[in-house]
Structure 1
Amino acid sequence: MSLLELRNVQAYYGTILALKGITLDVDQGEIVTLIGSNGAGKSTTLKSICGQVKTMGEIQYSGKEIAMQSPHLTALDGIAHVPEGRRIFPRLTVKENLEMGGFSVKSKKMVKERMEEAFTYFPRLKERVNQAGGTMSGGEQQMLAIARALMMKPRLLLLDEPSMGLAPVIVTQIFDIIQELNNRGMTILLVEQNAYQALHIAHRGYVLQTGEIVREGSATELLADAQIKEAYLA
Structure 2
Amino acid sequence: MSLLELKQVSAYYGQIRALADISVRVEQGEIVTLIGSNGAGKSTTLKSICGQVKTTGNILFDGKDISKLPPHEIATLGVAHVPEGRRIFPRLTVKENLEMGAFMVKDKKEIERRMERVFSYFPRVKERLHQKGGTMSGGEQQMLAIGRGLMMQPKILLLDEPSMGLAPVIVEQIFEIIQELNKEGMTILLVEQNAFQALQIAHRGYIIQTGNIVMEDNADALLGNEAVKEAYLA
d(CA) in 2 for partners of 1:68, 1:144: 30
Matched positions, count: 234
d(CA) in 2 for partners of 1:73, 1:106: 17
CA contact (8 A) 1:54 1:68 kept: no
The match for 1:33 is 33
Shift of 1:69: 1.2
Q: Could you list the runs of 5+ residues in structure 2 that have no partner in the other structure?
A: none
The match for 1:204 is 204
d(CA) in 2 for partners of 1:147, 1:91: 17
Shift of 1:139: 0.2
- Tell me the secondary structure at the aligned position of residue 58 of structure 1: strand
Structure 1 position 194 matched with structure 2 position 194: yes
TM-score, structure 1 as length reference: 1.00
Amino acid at match of 2:182: N
Shift of 1:179: 0.3
CA contact (8 A) 1:48 1:68 kept: no
Q: Could you list the runs of 5+ residues in structure 1 that have no partner in the other structure?
A: none
Shift of 1:105: 0.8
The match for 1:90 is 90
d(CA) in 2 for partners of 1:202, 1:208: 16
The match for 1:167 is 167
What's the CA shift string for 1:2-55, capped at 9, x where partnerless?
000100000000000000000011000000000010000000000000000000
Q: Runs of at least 4 residues of structure 1 off by over 2 A?
A: none
CA contact (8 A) 1:4 1:60 kept: yes
Amino acid at match of 1:12: Y
d(CA) in 2 for partners of 1:37, 1:127: 36
- Tell me the secondary structure at the aligned position of residue 109 of structure 1: helix
d(CA) in 1 for partners of 2:143, 2:193: 18
Shift of 1:68: 3.0
d(CA) in 2 for partners of 1:6, 1:97: 30
The match for 2:78 is 78
Shift of 1:163: 0.2
d(CA) in 1 for partners of 2:117, 2:20: 40
Structure 1 position 136 matched with structure 2 position 136: yes
d(CA) in 2 for partners of 1:24, 1:133: 34
The match for 2:124 is 124
CA contact (8 A) 1:156 1:189 kept: yes
The match for 1:51 is 51
What's the CA shift string for 1:121-141, capped at 9, x where partnerless?
000011110000000000000
Over aligned residue pairs, what C-alpha RMSD do you find?
0.4
What's the CA shift string for 1:90-110, capped at 9, x where partnerless?
000000000011101110010
The match for 1:156 is 156
Shift of 1:188: 0.2
TM-score, structure 2 as length reference: 1.00
